[in-house]
Amino acid sequence: MNDPKNNNKNSLNIEISDEVSQGTYSNLAIIAHSKAEFVIDFTRVLPGTPNAKVHSRIIMTPQHAKMLARALNDNIGKFEAVNGEIHLDGSGNLNNFPGFEGGSGNTKIN
């Protein structure tokens, strides 16, 4: 039956639990893909800690991954327009991440 209060067929009610709304900090995302899906593992790496646990895994279609990339790029542009450019440290090598280079500068993601 049609609900007369909900005339907007394009609306979506999104709910979030209290636990999820607290968020989970991540400073490293590991991305893998197949022909059918992208898998993004969110973890956090701390200095002096040899292991890192995956705290969240998101699996999405290639189309949704591309829409996420576009949305992130759009939001980064809006952020930088207000707050200035986000500067990245290091060489940009995906196997190194700022603040965790260690003695050799060759911290690898395994």
Provide the b/e sequence for 9-37 (b: ≥16 CB within 10 Å): eeeeeeeeeeeeeeeeebeeeeeeeeeee
Residue 100 within any structural domain of the chain = no
Q: Indicate the pLDDT class of residue 110, thresholds 50, 70 and 90.
A: very low
pLDDT digits (tens, 9 = 90+) for 10-29: 899 999 999 999 999 999 99
Residue range(s) defining the domain that contains residue 67: 18-83
Residue 84: its pLDDT value, please? 96
**Would 9 be classed as within a structural domain?**
no
Kindly report, residue by residue over 63-96, the tens digit of the pLDDT: 999 999 999 999 999 999 999 999 887 655 555 5
H/E run at residue 38: strand 38-43
Q: Examine residue 38 and state whether it is found in any structural domain, yes or no.
A: yes
Cβ(76)–Cβ(84) below 8 Å: no
pTM across the whole model: 0.70
Note whether residue 6 is domain-resident.
Answer: no
| Domains held by the chain: number | 1
